Amino acid sequence: MSHKLRFLELFAALCAIVVSLGVSGVIDRATAAPLNIGASASMDAYFLINDGVIRDDIAVSVGVTTALSGSALSTVEDAAATNSDGSYVQVGNPFNDPPTPFIATEFNETTQPDGDEARGFYYVEQNLTLDDSSRTVFLDRTLAGTAALDFTDIAISASASSDFEIGRDLVLTNTSDATAYAFEIATGFDMSLAASADDLGSQSIAEAVFSLSFITSGYVALDYLGSSGNSPTIDDSDPGVSVANNCVVGDSDNNVLLDGVNCQASVSATGTGAPTDASFETIRQFFFGVIMAPGSSLRLSFFQSQNSATSYIDPSVSEVPLPASALLFLGGLGFFSRIHRNQKPAGERVALNP
């Protein structure tokens, strides 16, 4: 047997061993890169009444709280993982009349013994400016949330999420007996969403909603004066990415009699085995003209929400039973042994020693 043929037989044996071990699950997949995926949503929104200058006959009072809730969660399917049990901090009281500035945060983290983490976090801040009569004339809110998975060992399932929604009504009333008043309302937001997913089995989604609705009583004329801001910046080029953006001014038919503004956006990323990123950013401003007859009222319902969620489910690996891998190994050896025999002259063929 030539050295070349001996080398081929040895190489074939090694290849068969590696293939059989890989198929049987001993080497079920190559070492993967660390899993670092997540989702984030942030939105800074505001409304401003007549540049902060309101006639004394226009009373501004706090209406109902339409929504105020939030949560941050994380979980890892590992009995040895430790959950932080969450932490919640709030400074200020949004239920006051008028609502006072406040900041609230919630954090939840689950950590494995090797330091791998799943974490959810939200942040909300509300500020307001009052006029000389202690009426709210400017309201600014910031919502931000993140959900992230940071794993070196990805052979485990984990998830994290963060969500918050807040809504509060202000009621404007013309207390004059004979005078109608005209003024402007400006509103807008700065919204940024991002989602990333790399490995198969990973998925992230970020969503945000902004709305300012008008509810009238008595004679109130509303006029949409226009909008400004940049066009949305969208990154949706990667496979496995989805981006949605819908913003409506007025009712569903954009009629002159306005219901207000309602904007929703979302991004999602599903792992394809390659880096997958989705993002959405936009800044929008809207302007409305208002005429209020004596005794009329206008309710401003100012609502925001954010949701961020990410998860990883370890993909199941199909394994071939050991007997099948053994047959594959022996078949590889037999194939190359047959090639070796066929290349010898007939008179030189000998039986293999037992």
What end-to-end distance do the CA atoms of the chain give, in Å?
18
Would you say 335 and 15 are in contact if contact means Cβ atoms under 8 Å apart? Answer: no
Residues of the chain with pLDDT below 70 are 1-33, 94-99, 154, 251-258, 315-354
Please name the residues in contact with 174: beta carbons below 8 A apart, sequence gap of 6 or more.
Answer: 57, 58, 180, 181, 218, 292, 293, 294, 295, 296, 297
Give the model confidence (pLDDT) of 305-316 as tens digits.
999 999 998 765
How many Å apart are CA 70 and CA 317, to the nearest integer?
37
CA separation for the pair 121, 163 (Å, rounded)? 8
Give dist(CA 189, CA 161) in Å, integer.
23
For 31, 57, 182, 220, the CA distances from 296, given in Å and listed in that order, are 69, 11, 12, 7
| Model pLDDT for residues 20-51, shown as the tens digit of each residue | 434 333 333 333 457 789 999 999 999 999 99
Taking only the tens place, the pLDDT of each residue in 61-110 is 887 778 889 999 999 998 999 998 789 998 987 666 666 788 999 999 99
Contact 158, 77 (CB under 8 A): yes
pTM of the predicted model, to two decimals? 0.77
